[in-house]
Each structure stands twice: as structure tokens, then as C-alpha cells.
Amino acid sequence: MTHPAHTPASLPATRSKTTLPAAGTAGRSRRARVEPMAVRPLRDGRYAVETEGGTYVVDLDANACTCPDHQLRRARCKHLRRVALEVTARLVPPPGKRTAVCAVCGGRTFVPTTVEGPALCSRHAVRPGEVVADRETGDRLLVVAEAGARADRVATDEGRLVADYPSNADYGAHEPVVRAVYVDSLRRDGEVRTYAFPASRLRRLRDATPADAADVGPSSTDAGPSATTA
């Protein structure tokens, strides 16, 4: 099993000017598509739009742009339209998100700007309450906490890093840790232990639900610190 190296920073911010198909548009809508522009997300949620005539700053949330067309005429200028087009086409992240690299597949994804550490794309991310399967054993588990820090930085109660367990050797040490409980343990009386896994070790069961798995109720789980890894 091969896993790409995790790249914690966003993808390169520098972009060359590009155009979009005219798509039968006219006026500002057409200029937003056919004129060469480069859209670059800024850290504050706005966008710098570089054109042949200069660089302007667009605020999608405020529907504002620093260009003369918007400032003087209050028009929805070509820069505002271009940013909206690129966000819709997923060429740039929407406001409040940044571009990141999925720690499992290396694909591009968008995550909230407040999220630190390794990221996961929608294909590999799992959410609390989701039923998954352990690729090593086939056992079903219930996710109790979203992905967190890297497997080579999270220690279990045994004092070992998640990445150091032999059963995790085939999974990336750079991957974020997902915490889950075994479904079978929820059917028994006694302490329910939370286990930590590298993200790609858990296989999503898209059609399963906690109720289908074991009539699981939210009070059955222990979402505390990881006890160990499987």
C-alpha cells in the first residue's frame, strides 16, 4: 500500500492568468470569462484578482471589489463575477476555507482555515456516528471523533505512538488519527474503550448506519482519550 507524503501547506498560491469559455454571455459576464485573470485567495477570506489593468481585492461575502467599476458605479464587476465562477468551479476555495492536500490520496481539497494539521478529502474523511470497517480485521467500528493530529504524533494510553504499532505499518505515519469504538463492544456491559487508527485503515461503509450496526445510542460511546490501537 502506497501513501503520498503529506504536504501540510496549501497548494502553491501563484497562478498564471487564465480565461474561461464565453458560454454565450455578454457584457460584464463575458468579460469575467474571456479576459485573462488570476484569482488568488487571501488569508482574510478575500481574493486578489490580477488582471492586465491591475490587481483588485474582492470580498464575496460583502459583494464588494476595490476596482473603479464597483467603487464608482456600484456594479457587480467582472472581478466579482470571476471569483464567483472560480469558487463554483472549485478552482479556488470558498470564503473561510483554504486549499489543502489529502493526507491519504494526495488530492486537492478545501478545509476550514481554522483547521490545522493533516487534511482529508471528502472521499476519505469520516464523521462521528459513521460506521466503518477495519481493513486489517474486517471488524466494524463506530467513529466517535473526527480526524485529528498525525499518527506519528499521537500517543495511546500505553505510551506508544499510533504509527508505531505493527498493525499500522502499512498506513501513512503522516495520516490523521481517527478515534472509534468497536461495534461489538457496545453490545456488552462494561467499559467501552476508544481506539485510534490512521485514517486510511478505516474503510467507509456508505450504506450503514449506527442503528443498522448495533442499535447504537449516543450514550453508549466513550469519546475520551484513545486507549490503544487495534
pLDDT greater than 70 at residue 11: no
Q: How confident is the model over 66-92, as pLDDT tens digits?
A: 999 999 999 999 999 999 999 999 999
**pLDDT tier, 206 (very low <50, low <70, confident <90, very high otherwise):** low
Q: Measured between alpha carbons, how far is 102 from 108 in angstroms, rounded to an integer?
A: 6
pLDDT greater than 60 at residue 110: yes
Query: What integer is the mean pLDDT of 36-44?
Result: 95
Ordered by start, the domain boundaries in the chain are: 27-88, 131-220
pLDDT greater than 90 at residue 114: no
Q: Measured between alpha carbons, how far is 12 from 15 in angstroms, rounded to an integer?
A: 8
Q: Check residues 22 and 222 and name the one with the higher pLDDT.
A: 22
Least confident of 98-107, 116-125, 133-142, 204-213: 204-213
pLDDT greater than 50 at residue 181: yes
pLDDT greater than 80 at residue 210: no
Query: What integer is the mean pLDDT of 167-196?
Result: 89
**pLDDT tier, 166 (very low <50, low <70, confident <90, very high otherwise):** very high
pLDDT greater than 90 at residue 229: no
**pLDDT tier, 188 (very low <50, low <70, confident <90, very high otherwise):** confident
pLDDT greater than 50 at residue 93: yes
**Model pLDDT, residue 190:** 67
pTM: 0.68
